[in-house]
Structure 1
Amino acid sequence: MRAARPSTVPSARAGSVGVLAAGAIAGFLARRRSWLMAQRDVMGSVLGTLAFTLALDTSGPA
């Protein structure tokens, strides 16, 4: 008797849900330019803050 292998279906389903959600968000942003600009500004600020924090980090490797 062989042991049952875990199914890859749940991970494929989760991946496809992520792809569909990303497509829906992209479509929403494409139809609403003001939201697209706001999203761009917010993400630019988040990534800029992260870069600044990493540049000033003086701790050694974990």
Structure 2
Amino acid sequence: MSMTIKAVRDDNMPSILISFDLERKPTFLVISILLPTTFLSLLNLLVFLIPVDSGEKISY
């Protein structure tokens, strides 16, 4: 992130111009959204590998 501040004088009216430059971080997207989603999707597929005779599949 970078920030620039410039004082501008136009038509006898003082003003300030503030500019922000932001940069994306794609690794944040991968770590926070894509990896957990992929992990949970694969975990859901493992449900079909549980044998039918194993008893109750969901317990509290």
TM-score scaled by structure 1?
A: 0.44
> Going by fraction, where is helix more abundant, 1 or 2?
1
